[in-house]
A and B are shown apart, each in its own frame.
Chain A
Amino acid sequence: MTGRGLSNDADDPVDERIDTRQRTRELFKQLAKASSGKAQEELRNELVQLHLPLVDHLARRFRNRGEPLDDLVQVGTIGLIKSVDRFQLDRGVEFSTYATPTVLGEIKRYFRDKGWAVRVPRRLQELRLSLATATADLTQELGRSPTVSELSARLKVNEDDILEGLESANAYSTLSLDAPDLGETDGQSMADSLGADDDALEGVDYRESLKPLLAQLDPRAKHILMLRFFRGMTQSQIAGEVGISQMHVSRILSRTLAQLRAGLLE
């Protein structure tokens, strides 16, 4: 039923794609003119249906990261619906070009917000949120990142709980080395596959082998990595510059390092 667009039973996939594009434009034109709510709803539905294969395709990129594919498709679809609602034909961009970053953004946000590697109790998830806010505020006030005792005083939560909250904020990054790599080998953790002494590694020029790995990184992760390790900026400074929270910077750094490590050892 969703055989349009990226369908694999098409004799000529290129024709099929052009067909989808034309149909999309057509539908958006009708949508712009549609007067009744019912007609709009039907057009919107068809547009969403038409691009479900795109969502499916994008969600598949995030398989093996510990979240069920169905959930990813579902949140990706929310991104698709948002794109349909915001898209303006007269901007001259293809809808799929416009929708892709929104769908990816929605999936990534899902990982960020809910993709806990370890089940974290609701209380801690909430604490983590207030910690993020308090950290940002205090960093602003103090001109440096706060200490645990300062956070404890601000939130009126004891220091142990603050530490626990910070720990849970990092629960995500436990995906780095400890989580089973669901990719190929069954249930074997990344750390297991680090392997014993491998003399072949001796000859590896890290810098050379690092280059292609760095090139594969998500541009933002790479940027953050460079700022932290080659320009010596602190996590808080990076958070300010990139416009995300310090905890998020921390997670991105841990995850990126784990990714590079895994790549270097392959």
Chain B
Amino acid sequence: MSADHHVTLTIPADGAYLSILRTATAGVAARLDFTLDGIEDLRMAVDEACALLLPQSKAESNLHCAFDVGESSLTIAVTAESLSPKPPRRDGFAWTVLTALTTDVDASVDGSSVTLRLTREREGYELP
């Protein structure tokens, strides 16, 4: 039960597919026994992350979403392919939103890809 599990999902870089990512996020977060607050926050966070990534995604490219399922935390890394990859501004409103919705946010650029990594710890409550 201590080993990390991985879930990966690739969707077209197109807003119409975001609902699949939101649903997958909610499903994985529920498995981790996140509260509804946590689930909804994560759902909103992936939405916001994609809203940051989609405008700079290459046409016809995909968004790669990797879920790292820890024992009490979930990390979701969303990667987009971009012609001119730039990390999002950290003083922007979107970043403020992301930091409020997650425990940790990080952005990185590697070659032609931009990755936003969102981590959320499960709240420390007594499990039944």
* Chain A positions near chain B (C-beta within 8 angstroms): 135, 142, 144-151, 159, 162-163, 166-167, 170, 174, 176-178, 189-192, 194-198, 206-207, 210, 228-230, 232, 234-236, 246, 250, 253-254, 257, 260-261, 264-265
Contact = CB atoms under 8 A, between A and B. Distances in A.
B87 interface: no
B37 A246 contact: yes
A151 B128 CA distance: 13
Chain B at the A interface: SS class: helix
Interface of B: 14-16, 18-19, 22-23, 26-27, 30, 33-41, 43-44, 47-48, 51, 54-56, 59, 82-84, 89, 91-94, 96-97, 100, 123, 125, 128
Contacts of A207: 91, 93
Contacts of B82: 197
Shortest beta-carbon contacts, A-B, top 10: A191-B15, A145-B37, A145-B35, A148-B30, A206-B92, A250-B40, A229-B100, A177-B15, A145-B36, A234-B37
A189 B16 contact: yes
Given A144-B125, A178-B19, A194-B15, A235 B55 contact: no
Contacts of A144: 35, 37, 123, 125
A260 B93 contact: yes
Contact of A163 (B18, B27, B84): B27
5 contacts: A135-B36, A174-B19, A197-B56, A198-B55, A265-B55
Given A191-B14, A197-B56, A197-B84, A166 B96 contact: no
Given A149-B128, A195-B55, A197-B82, 10 more contacts: A163-B27, A166-B26, A167-B23, A177-B51, A191-B16, A229-B97, A250-B44, A257-B48, A257-B97, A264-B93
B54 A206 contact: no
Chain A at the B interface: SS class: helix
B51 A178 contact: no
Contacts of A196: 55-56, 59
Contacts of A174: 19
B122 to A, nearest CB: 9
A170 B43 contact: yes
A206 B91 contact: yes
Contacts of A166: 26, 36, 39
Nearest to A251: B40
B51 A261 contact: yes
B91 A257 contact: no
Contacts of B37: 144-145, 234-236, 246
Contact of B44 (A178, A194, A257): A257
